[in-house]
Amino acid sequence: MKVLVIGLGGVTNGGKTTLAEKLKDMLPNCDIISQDDFFKPESEVETDERGFKLYDVLDALYMDEMVTSIRNWMKSPASSGVVTEEPENTCDNLKNVYILIVEGFLLYNYEPLNELWNRRYFLTLPYEECKRRRSTRVYQPADTPGYFDGHVWPMYLKYKNELEENTSMQVDYLDGTKSQEELLSYLYSDIIQELNKLRE
């Protein structure tokens, strides 16, 4: 049995969740873990001097629990409830390969996660487009006035800069303004190449 762990990270509203869901439908034995499921309750998230809840930082997340969930999945992917294809529909050489897509906005800035990835993708968006998309979404708790400019965008830039400075880390940057079809097609063929390497 072999496992492939794919990181799909990057900017808020970059299309990560949608791409992960579509890839799951296209790939054999594929499962998703979403970083959003590991947010601490609002009462445990720090507030800064401007009254902004600091959600876009690692401290707002139960990162250790997230690492444990991924490791548990890697130990026994078949027991995670992942839907396995009927053997006759799957090429023989893919039967024992399981794929986990981990999607989230802060995947590569937490050291214990970095030894787990087979591939790292990072979706980017220009400021205006990101702000426009974010304004169409409803969050719990809701974004307060000035939150995007005061917290969300600066944190995205901070973590992205950290990544770009870490030259030892291989990250594939993707333009989130491209169509879902184009991004999906690229990701799918890249992951299939990675699967082929695993099987060799």
The Cβ of residue 92 has, within 10 Å, a number of other Cβ atoms equal to 8
45 token code pair: 């998230």
pLDDT 10s digits, 106-116: 999 999 999 89
Phi then psi for 94, rounded to 5 degrees?
A: -105, -5
For the chain, the structural domain boundaries read 8-78+93-198
32: buried, middle or exposed (CB in 10 Å: 19+, 13-18, 0-12)? Answer: middle
Residues found in the chain? 200
Q: What is the CATH number of domain 8-78+93-198?
A: 3.40.50.300
- Output the CA–CA distances (angstroms, integers) from residue 77 to 54, 92, 127, 140, in the order listed: 33, 18, 38, 31
pLDDT of residue 81: 60
H-helix or E-strand spanning residue 188: helix 180-199
Nearby residues of 37 by Cβ (< 8 Å), 6 or more positions away: none
Annotation says 36 is catalytic: yes
Supply the DSSP symbol for 53: B
The first and second tokens of residue 124, run together, are: 């980017």
pTM for this structure?
0.90
Q: Count Cβ atoms below 10 Å from residue 26 Cβ, excluding itself.
A: 12
Residues 104-142 have pLDDT tens digits of 999 999 999 998 999 999 999 999 999 999 998 888 778
- Give the pLDDT confidence score for residue 61 in this predicted structure: 97
Torsion angles phi and psi, residue 119, rounded to 5? -140, 145
Per-residue pLDDT of the chain (200 residues; tens, 9 = 90+): 889 999 999 999 999 999 999 999 999 899 999 999 999 999 999 999 998 999 999 999 999 999 999 999 999 887 766 555 443 444 555 667 899 999 999 999 999 999 899 999 999 999 999 999 999 888 877 888 899 999 999 999 999 999 999 888 999 999 999 999 999 999 999 999 998 888 77
pLDDT of residue 142: 81
Q: In sequence order, what are the residues at sequence separation of 6 or more whose Cβ sits closer than 8 angstroms to the Cβ of residue 99?
A: 3, 4, 6, 27, 28, 29, 30, 31, 191, 195
Parallel, antiparallel, or unpaired for β 119-124 and 97-103? unpaired
Helix (H) / strand (E) element for 70: namely helix 63-75
Catalytic residue selected from 36, 48, 64, 149: 36
